Amino acid sequence: RPRVLSGIQPTAGSFHLGNYLGAVRQWVALQESHDAFYMVVDLHAITVPQDPAELRSNTRIAAAQLLAAGLDPERCTLFIQSHVPEHAQLGWVMNCLTGFGEASRMTQFKDKSAKQGADRTSVGLFTYPILQIADILLYQAHQVPVGEDQRQHIELTRDLAERFNSRYGDTFTMPAPYILKETAKIYDLQDPSAKMSKSAASPKGLINLLDEPKVSAKKVKSAVTDTDTVIRYDAENKPGVSNLLTIYSTLTGLSIPELEQKYEGKMYGALKTDLAEVMVDFVTPFRDRTQEYLDDPETLDAILAKGAEKARAVAAETLATTYDRLGFLPAK
Ligand code: ATP
Ligand code: MG
């Protein structure tokens, strides 16, 4: 079985619809066909300041959402990044192999640091793609299911795997991004030129899966479309409507042409009203299941402990080989 590895940040509490459609949904499918490792990346979360109590609580909430989304601890390895110290250890090694200029070209960093201002930007935010390299290479992952925003980081990971392998001998599996075209990028409902993100300019364009369902329904109903009236998929000229069709299609399994036919001659209002209902039907059981896991923290923590143990077995082996190849004197 080919191996997959992916992670999600616990920073916002609730996952948003982009996280789910762009990443987590694929994670659930891939656990059937792949040897799957999924983690809540708390080390990445502290690249921006976090309140300790909130971080701890949000980490459990993230894990509960992953289980609610359908991850099965019997069929995949689900863990918390900081429970496996090898991430930070291999991260350092990768820091030393990455060029400063190379890291400076990462557009996610440029975007995020521009939003925050240079004075408030940590060195950790700058090197977070390098920690991500370690995350992936530790597990010898063949594929990395992510949204389009992560493609550049996977490319950098490939460069580093190749660099290490050619300098020190074959050590790391070459990973490939696994990005589904249809849901690679879910856009902000108020600004369909921007990706839906937890750091969105306005909360009105962001669907948080754990919000009251009626709040999400309202956001769908007030989504930005265009002055035209035709319900047709055209990402270039009709980004708002196209985004709604993508979401609708993925949540229901109806194809885009089927939806275009269903709404032929109808107004945007009809599409939005129906999608709002689809959204409520999706988030309501999702919230309930998440709450069930949160109501039983002992079971949740036991699942995570078992996951960390399975993850560490793999990570420790890769780190030991890496240290040996680098020429570190073994501890006796
Ligand atoms: P931030 O904007 O602070 O980076 P985020 O919303 O991207 O947060 P992450 O935890 O960084 O959340 O991302 C988790 C996964 O969700 C990643 O695989 C990422 O590619 C994917 N993802 C995030 N936003 C979207 C989106 N709008 N459309 C599709 N996939 C997305
Ligand atoms: Mg992100």
Query: How do the pLDDT tens digits run along the chain, 332 residues long?
Result: 999 999 999 998 999 999 999 999 999 999 999 999 999 999 999 999 999 999 999 999 999 999 999 999 999 999 999 999 999 999 999 999 999 999 999 999 998 888 888 888 999 999 999 999 999 999 999 999 999 999 999 999 999 999 999 999 999 999 999 999 989 999 999 999 999 998 887 899 999 999 999 999 999 999 999 999 899 999 999 999 999 999 999 999 999 999 999 999 999 999 999 999 999 999 999 999 999 999 999 999 999 999 999 999 999 999 999 999 999 999 88
Identify the pLDDT of residue 207.
97
Closest by CA position to 126, among listed 147, 156, 165: 156
pTM score: 0.96
Q: Is the CB of 19 under 6 A from ligand 1?
A: yes
Identify the pLDDT of residue 1.
93
- Nearest alpha carbon, ligand 1 atom 13: 8
Distance 23 CA to ligand 1 centre (A): 8
Residues 6+ away with beta carbon under 8 Å from 76: 27, 31, 36, 37, 38
Distance 326 CA to ligand 2 centre (A): 31
218 SS3 class: helix
Closest by CA position to 122, among listed 17, 47, 234: 47
CB 166 within 8 A of CB 135: no
- Nearest alpha carbon, ligand 1 atom 20: 147
- Nearest alpha carbon, ligand 1 atom 5: 197
> How far apart, in whole angstroms, are the C-alpha atoms of residue 132 and residue 238?
34
Identify the pLDDT of residue 101.
96
Q: DSSP characters for 231-270?
A: ---BTTTBHHHHHHHHHHHHHH---HHHHHHHTTT--HHH
Residues 6+ away with beta carbon under 8 Å from 261: none
5 SS3 class: strand
Q: Is the CB of 147 under 6 A from ligand 1?
A: yes
The token pair at 277 is 């209902």
Q: Is the CB of 22 under 6 A from ligand 1?
A: yes
The token pair at 240 is 């708002």
Closest by CA position to 318, among listed 57, 55, 90, 64: 90
Residue 186 CA, closest ligand 1 atom number: 28
> How far apart, in whole angstroms, are the C-alpha atoms of residue 259 and residue 80?
39
Residue whose pair of structure tokens reads 């040996």 in the numeric block = 324
- Which amino acids are annotated catalytic? 112, 195, 198
Distance 62 CA to ligand 2 centre (A): 14
> How far apart, in whole angstroms, are the C-alpha atoms of residue 137 and residue 173?
7
Helix (H) or strand (E) holding 38: strand 35-40
Identify the pLDDT of residue 117.
85
